[in-house]
Amino acid sequence: MRSIISAIGTANPPNRFAQSQILEFMADAHQLSANDRSRLKKLYELSGIEYRHSVIDDFGLQRGSYKFFGNDVLLEPYPTTQCRSSLFERKAIDVCLAAVKNLHEQIPDFSIDQITHLITVSCTGLYAPGIDIDLIEKLSMNPTVERTCINFMGCYGAFNALKTADYICRAESQAKVLIVDIELCTIHFQRENTLENWLANSLFGDGAAAVLVENESHRSTAVGFNLASFFSELQLESKNEMAWRIGNTGFEMRLSSHIAKHISKKINGVIDSLLEKSKVDPSKISSAAIHPGGRRILEVCQEKLDGFCLKHSFDVLRKFGNMSSATILFVLQQLLAESKKGSYVMGFAFGPGLTIESMLLQTI
């Protein structure tokens, strides 16, 4: 029997900032000249992002009123990795619980007591006892729930969670798997005035998603996504184009301007391999869900996926920015609400490696 995504819930922190607000914070934080401020403004205007959410208030405040960053010109005292990790531990659980609540609103007759497996995903925060144990405690879940943590895999982390849930549900027909994906990207803001920091600081936001995966024979909803097939390909020649390492002042992101070009070269080959593995006629595929890593990534995918509309990916980017691994689940939530029964959806996400993860879903 097949395994299915029965429902998807999403949530964001209450702080919602216009991209123009964040621009002012960043220009001040980087101590930009008038010329560089103009260049940064252009980058923000071309980002395809209108709003982002954050657990940090400061991005909408003036210097002198900051609560997390220091209030002098260098943001001193500047938050250490320990300080940022402590903020993740305090704030992540509330966003996770809101995502689970949103999930439950869609399947009100489903009881959390039925969950047999919990998979948590994050590449922006780690602690132990971790978010998985906090969720079990806050949701009063059965203490016998089996737990799996998927960490530090970057923007494709949710794909690995879905694959793991698929394996579980195929092996155990009674299994009910809850995936909770939480990313608080904005806690890792870096102040150094570099083009890489300009790019990273222009993209990322905070958000969480919750997904219920079940065996089709014991599903809780009439509509869902069958997890039909997965395919992953690692592009080692491009492994240095994207990196995510732990520094003394948070996690440090490296994003090359060549990432979109590498994706453009490889994505059609990945599509061919995915379809060959799944034995699905390409004419049956009605839509695509692309991780909105950035506007240019979506544009090159749009060019290569001729005939497919990526409106949901562009819409999520516009409303929320790049929320790392949780972002693709926001896209799938929108698609699940409108996909026609029997239609197929291709999904893609990209991350360190350079890794291209793909999947094929069928609406039931």
Residue 302 DSSP SS3: helix
| Residue 144's pLDDT band (cuts 50, 70, 90) | very high
Res 1 pLDDT > 80:
no
Both tokens of 43, joined, read: 């980058």
Residue 155 annotated in active site: yes
Q: Return d(Cα 157, Cα 126) in angstroms, integer.
A: 14
Tell me the pLDDT tens digit for each residue of 267-278.
Answer: 999 999 999 998
Which residues are CB-neighbours of 358 under 8 A, at least 6 positions away?
Answer: 230, 231, 232, 233, 270, 271, 274, 346, 347, 348
The residue that leads in pLDDT, 18 or 234, is 18
Per the listing, tokens 């819930």 go with 9
Superfamily of segment(s) 227-363 = Thiolase/Chalcone synthase (3.40.47.10)
Please tell me the predicted confidence (pLDDT) of residue 338.
85
The single-letter code of the amino acid at 263 is: I
Residue ranges per structural domain of the chain: 227-363
Q: Which of 155, 169, 185, 301 is catalytic?
A: 155
Contact, 122 vs 131, CB < 8 A?
Answer: yes
The single-letter code of the amino acid at 95 is: V
The structure's pTM equals 0.96
Q: What average pLDDT does the segment 140-166 reach? A: 96
Contact, 299 vs 267, CB < 8 A?
Answer: no
